[in-house]
Structure 1
């Protein structure tokens, strides 16, 4: 599995291009904006992008969805079923404030806890992690976790936005993410990369 991270959008979200090196099938996580490097890499590798996956519906993570759907028309937009309201409602997803335009999105595929998708030889498992938003989720692929705005390097996602919940977020991290092996790599929605083991020992919020 190859994981490439790119900053995108006004708030410099970590957008990820992930693909199976053998089959050249891949997916994109949280296109908050458009990063030419990501699009160029996908073209250079002649990747077959099957999915555009949203860890949650806030505007800084969805601002580039339209361009990526145009660039990869075969790709299906994936989100947690419980995030449907956020994606549709610009007053909840803050797209106007973060992207400069009000966005209302409808996913092609809504997933739930323990659902899986196959991308080449890669098995994607979805973990519902409410707290930052009601339908926030993480994506586990092999030994790598794409944590969105649930878990950061020695930090956590904000819970002071509409429908956020600090108790829910802490529960999501402690009762789900911290059950993963310590060596699990964590690719968050902002800031640098980390591991589950490091966060269990050093994260002051959990």
Structure 2
């Protein structure tokens, strides 16, 4: 695939918590961004050094601890790196760190010569976001390959989650690969067209049916999607 960037997947975690962080590299400048740095700082640093890139950017899909708990540690090593989170997320939860830049829905960030479109996709949190590239969507806890994020945390909303999934359906091309913050049986990187046919949360045509199902009682687990 001839494109101007590389995307590297990192499995990080602590005990039973497992996340995916990502490193995005602009091929022209060799500038790099880390998406949702958490848990295993050494894993992240080792990959940055192995790639021989300059970390200039940190992209945060939302403010939950398991997605941001290595931001400050990275900034101690790369103090000039700029951190991006949606304005709504920052305002709602009071997230703060050095070099923090808020963005709004549809705004573009440039990593060297690579454009990154910020999509605010509330639902899991009040200002959760996805980052859209030419061929890839970094979706945090908005949408997983198997389902979507829970909506009963502080600031969460199943109505907004429904609207966010409709936004993804509307704005993201079917070939774009989806890279979420967690895996619940399927590896990241499936094209959106697969999710549109197999992910149950894309099947609801009416918001009230979506809300009833996402918030149904007696689920075997909050991440049991069916």
Quick one: which of 160, 163, 166 aligns to 2:152? 160
Taking structure 2 as the reference length, the TM-score comes to 0.79
Please name the residue that 2:191 is paired with.
Answer: 195
| Counterpart mapping for 1:112-151 below 5 A | 112-151=104-143
CA contact (8 A) 2:108 2:117 kept: yes
Runs of 4+ in 1 over 3 A off after TM superposition: 104-107
The number of aligned residues is 191
Please name the residue that 2:12 is paired with.
Answer: 8
1:22 is displaced (CA, Å) by 2.9
SS at match of 1:205: helix
Quick one: which of 42, 51, 55 aligns to 1:36? 42
1:8 is displaced (CA, Å) by 2.4
Quick one: which of 19, 31, 38 aligns to 1:25? 31
SS at match of 1:155: coil
Please name the residue that 1:92 is paired with.
Answer: none
Change (3 A) 1:83 1:57: same
1:9 is displaced (CA, Å) by 3.6
1:45 is displaced (CA, Å) by 2.5
Q: Distance in 1 between matches of 2:81 and 2:129?
A: 19
1:34 is displaced (CA, Å) by 2.5
CA offsets per residue over residues 135-161 of structure 1, 9 Å max, x none? 001001111110000010121001111
Q: Distance in 1 between matches of 2:181 and 2:135?
A: 17
Instruction: Kindly indicate whether residue 169 of structure 2 is the aligned counterpart of residue 178 of structure 1.
Output: yes
CA contact (8 A) 2:146 2:199 kept: yes
Q: Distance in 1 between matches of 2:18 and 2:97?
A: 21
Q: Distance in 2 between matches of 1:111 and 1:55?
A: 11
More off after superposition, 27-36 vs 161-170: 27-36
The runs of 5 or more residues in structure 1 that have no matched partner are: 90-103
CA contact (8 A) 1:147 1:187 kept: yes
SS at match of 1:56: coil
The runs of 5 or more residues in structure 2 that have no matched partner are: 203-226
1:87 is displaced (CA, Å) by 4.6
CA offsets per residue over residues 147-199 of structure 1, 9 Å max, x none? 0000101210011111111111011011x111211111111010121221111
SS at match of 2:201: coil
Change (3 A) 1:172 1:107: farther
CA contact (8 A) 1:131 1:168 kept: yes
Q: Distance in 1 between matches of 2:63 and 2:85?
A: 8
CA contact (8 A) 1:116 1:125 kept: yes
Please name the residue that 2:206 is paired with.
Answer: none
Q: Distance in 2 between matches of 1:38 and 1:162?
A: 29
1:123 is displaced (CA, Å) by 0.4
CA offsets per residue over residues 1-36 of structure 1, 9 Å max, x none? 111111224322111011012321110100122342
